[in-house]
Amino acid sequence: MQSNKHYLLFLFLLLIGTLSGLAQEDQIISLPIKAEKDTIVAPLFPRPVEKDSISKDSTEITGANGGSPLLLDKIQYKAKDSIILSQKNQKIYLYNEAEIYYQDTELKAGIIIMDYVNNEVYAGRIKDSLGVYSQLPYFKQGEQVVIPDSIRFNFDSQKALIFNSRTEQQAGAGQLGSDAMKVYAEITKKENDSVYFMNEAKITTAEDTINPDYYIRVRKAKLVPGKKVIAGLSNIYIADVPTPIGLPFAYFPLSVGRTAGLLMPSIGNDPNRGYFLQNGGYYLPIGDNLDIELTGDFYTNGSWGIRSRSNYVKRYKYRGNINVTYQNLVTSQKGFSDFSRSSNYNIQISHSQDTKASPNSRFSASVNLGSSQFFQNSLGRVSSANLLRNNNSSSISYSKTLPAYPSINMSLTATHSQDTSPGSTDDGKDNIQMTLPTFQGSMERIFPFVKRDGIKKGIFQNINLQYDVNARYSLTTNDEDFLTGAMFENARFGARHRIPISTNFKLLKYLSVTMGGNYEDVWTAETFNQRFVEAEDPTQRGTVVRDTVAGFDRYNTYNFSASIGTTIYGTFRFGDDKKVQAIRHVMRPSISYGYAPSFDQFYDEYIGENGEVVQFSRFEGTLNGAPRLGKSNSLSFSLANTLEAKVRNKDSTITEPKKVPILSNFNISTGYNLEADSLKLSPLSVNGGTNILNNKMSINFSAGLDPYAIDNNGRRVNTFNIDNGGSLLRLTRANVNIGYRIDSEMFGKKDEEEEEPDEELDEEAGQYDYSAQEEINNPFEKVDEFGNPIYEEDKRKDQDIENPIFSTKIPWDFNLAYSATYNNAARQNEFGSHSIMVRGNIQLTPRWKVGGSTGYDFKGKGFTLTQLRLERKLGSFNLRFNWTPFGQYRRWDFFIGISSSILKDLKWENRSQPPRR
């Protein structure tokens, strides 16, 4: 009964509670708790649990409707100050040093806003409290880099809208930098990875793209990165001033590496040949290892020239180039008395083999052949060095080494030598010598009386011998017969085999003795017989007829020689407390003896016009000549000297004295002929040289002194000059060469030990940069390809780095050379040559350089080739002026053009022509 009451009470309370709840369903009851909005919004991108504004974050983005991902990779982003994710705007805000990375796309900026619904980003600059913008956006996709003021980019379509973009385009094989094409555009639309459309663009190679010293203004353009820029109306601006130089459309190649294309010609006027187009043509690369350049010159009077230039290279194998030039020269006009027509040609070949390609064989070539007057009468510009060229030479060689003992070296060489001096072909004089080819073979030195790795001691163990052979096919011709069958008419063949044997040993401990002999075997392919033929008319003189005898022939010779010498040291001491502490004299005297028999067996005789007997050898006129007729038996003497002083060093901390050469070499030599019946003593030969003034001046001299007198006809007689009333030795020749160089560094302050800076003073002064000071004082540590100094930018903030100043230091150099040759062998008492030459350069400013060279010939009483040079760096431009004011090669040339090789055709040059001769 009691339990039933409890049960009824529970049902009653449950019913009351239910009815009460239904009665309050539409009412809101305020709670005494203040509501606050949660600042943490759950992002749609997965984020790490611990938030760090500067940590990297990666997200996987899905489509706007939650479908499959539209992006192909994760996006990584970070910022220095803040990262704000707005679910309401469906954007992410990155502020201060913001960065985003997606696949090959990299974006950095002051502020980045990312729309993760439309997969777009906006990047721009940030402004500080002073209103100054900083942190320009940096956009990189693949290898393309753009630095704009702002950018809007879509990850899906890869399209972008870029404002005030700045980019560098690599052109040719160069690297990005001063030689790259800089492109600035107000508005750029990126269509895809390979196409950009630009509006109001500036194209330049200047370093400063904001205020360039020159640029090409392009109204509208299409940019294909790494390939080309196709532009509409374009014209050049210099210092923001428009010029009339422009084109209705333009094409700028930007291909990386070598690209085929046209080469723009230079336009000008030649007073002798009329208007011209020079160096126009086509460039064609063939593969990665070869290219060809074809250019031509055309003149309105009919002159023309063509050139072919080719370069080839195989890494770790070889490299070289081939240049061929042919010119048709027309002077004046047809119908005039001075009209003439001639041709010029020149062939230059260079080939070198990498040493790694084959250690035991090598092929090389250096060819320079052509018309004798090619450089003097060539079309176009010719350097002054080539104008003074009086010889062309060539060499093509192949060498092979057999390394097994005894090693053998073999080589085949073809040579060419051509005299190009004026008048070299007058009177039919031959001026071209060639060998086609020369074979040279040699075996290394062997010691037959000692083991290969044994110690060589004594006269027998030091006996050694070698073998070498030289075979040549040689010819001499001239310009007219060159490359025709006539050039081989006087060709000669000859071979010489040689086996030298020698030994050396010590005698009486201090004397060095060398003894040896030489055996030669000479071969020839033809010989010449001589006979005298009397004239049919008794009143006429007879003639000597030479008959060519074809067929192999040979002769052999041998000789013997010995020499003895020693070294003598002498030191004169003055004391360690003296400035000059000692003088050291080193002498190396030597006496040599030589003997060779007469080889009469190779000589024949014929009866001359007056019945006299004339000896001749059938080998006379062959390539290696005839053997010796008459015995040789002679002594020779020589004395080599060096003289130097030991001088106390000015620096007291250095105890070792400094060696100062007084005479670097001083040599005396003469000889005595034991077989001669008169004039047995040879003239005394003296030569020497030294360097003085701290090696700034070099002096070299030589002289010939004859002990015998001469007769009234200038011939030597068997009477000593002193017995004929003269001096002991008669000066027959003398030569002296003096060179002197000074420069601004000689007068600069010497390096002094720097004092240790005061640490407290350093902190107060802001730690002054000593390395920067060193760069300011030494601005010419580097030079460009023209030899002009490159100024290192000053690290100090207040220095004008665009046009730095030298203060009181102006780099300069001055070179002086004096040369004189005196001849008095027959009492002519005259100078064979006597001249002085001067050359100097002055770097007025880091951008201005002037120089010149001249000389005076005291014998010819006239100036040598005189040149004045002026160079000016105009930011992105180079200006050069060269002037030869007088003389045979008087001329001038002026050039101003863009320094960069990309736009090197934007230039203006003018030159005068050499006077007619």
d(C-alpha 174, C-alpha 154), whole Å = 32
pLDDT of residue 42: 34
Q: Is the pTM of this model over 0.95?
A: no
pLDDT of residue 254: 75
d(C-alpha 619, C-alpha 523), whole Å = 10
d(C-alpha 553, C-alpha 547), whole Å = 15
Domain ranges of the chain: 43-156, 159-257, 275-389, 866-917
pLDDT of residue 270: 76
Q: Is 514 exposed, middle or buried (0-12, 13-18, 19+ CB in 10 A)?
A: middle
pLDDT of residue 30: 41
The angle subtended at Cα 113 by Cα 111 and Cα 116, nearest 5°, is 155
Tokens of 310: 């080719």
pLDDT digits (tens, 9 = 90+) for 608-624: 877 888 999 999 999 99
Q: What is the percent of the chain with per-residue pLDDT over 70, rounded to a whole number?
A: 81
Q: How many of the other CB atoms lie within 10 Å of CB of 898? A: 21
d(C-alpha 476, C-alpha 429), whole Å = 10
d(C-alpha 53, C-alpha 95), whole Å = 10
pLDDT of residue 669: 97
- Strand, coil or helix: 650: coil
Tokens of 738: 């003096």
Counting as low any pLDDT under 70, the low residues of the chain are: 1-73, 170-179, 209, 255-257, 380-390, 421-430, 748-808, 913-917
Q: CA nearest 565: which of 607, 610, 504?
A: 504
Question: Is 565 within 8 Å of 588 (Cβ atoms)?
Answer: yes
pLDDT digits (tens, 9 = 90+) for 14-69: 444 443 443 444 443 343 434 443 333 333 333 333 334 444 444 444 444 444 44
Contacts of 211 (CB under 8 A, 6+ apart): 240
pLDDT digits (tens, 9 = 90+) for 106-138: 999 999 998 888 888 999 998 888 888 888 899
d(C-alpha 728, C-alpha 160), whole Å = 97
pLDDT of residue 503: 95
Amino acid identity, position 731: L
Q: What is the DSSP letter of 860?
A: T
For 434, the enclosing helix (H) or strand (E) is strand 432-446
Q: Is it true that the peptide bond before 406 is cis, omega within 30 degrees of 0? A: yes
pLDDT digits (tens, 9 = 90+) for 404-463: 888 999 999 999 888 776 555 444 455 788 888 899 999 999 999 988 877 888 889 999
